[in-house]
A = this chain, B = another copy of it.
């Protein structure tokens, strides 16, 4: 009997992640409601909280999938890129842009998930961020062999944040939106100038 209960629980967990993933992708994190999820999953509202501590835990599970899909896209773009560290930075940053544009709501949810003030992100989240940072720090270490590790770590984070800012404001069509080709061009201009290659 216990096995069946655990099985049903695991199946409901999977269902809820699938449903939340699709709803976030379609309508954005802001529109996600526990009541709607329960209705679509055919379970009681309380059953959600038997599986996830709260709605944010469920969102984090969706974000884990988004992080993995993003990492796969970046890896695929890298596989076809020339073997030059500056090209690698540009190709990865443009892959980041294209992923964000193609999965706007899911990508926004990575950054918009709410946490209590001064609560650190969960370890797996920081680990996923760290994985993405490795993609950046490896070519940076080749481009700047004389930089000390602390500077390289700051530069890595700063470059990720820079590209994130260019993509975020560029995709915000309502304020200062930028055509997609111009976003790619901005990324290439900044990164090549930064690396002393233009």
Q: What CA separation (Å) do A169 and B132 show in the bound complex? A: 15
Q: How far is the CB of A106 from chain B (nearest CB, A)?
A: 16
Stretch at the interface among A19-27, A66-74, A76-84, A156-164: A156-164
Say yes or no for A46: interface residue by CB 8 A criterion.
no
Q: Which residues of B contact A154 (CB under 8 A)?
A: 182, 185-186, 189
Please tell me the size bucket of the interface on A.
35 or more
- Contact with A165, one of B129, B166, B196 (Cβ below 8 angstroms): B166
Q: Report A180 CB to chain B, min CB distance, Å.
A: 13
A-side residues, CB < 8 A to B, are 111, 115-121, 125-126, 129, 151, 154-155, 157-166, 168-170, 172-176, 178, 182, 185-187, 189-190, 193-194, 196
Contact A176 B157 (CB under 8 A): yes
Q: Which of B117, B162, B173, B178 contacts A162 (CB 8 A)?
A: B162
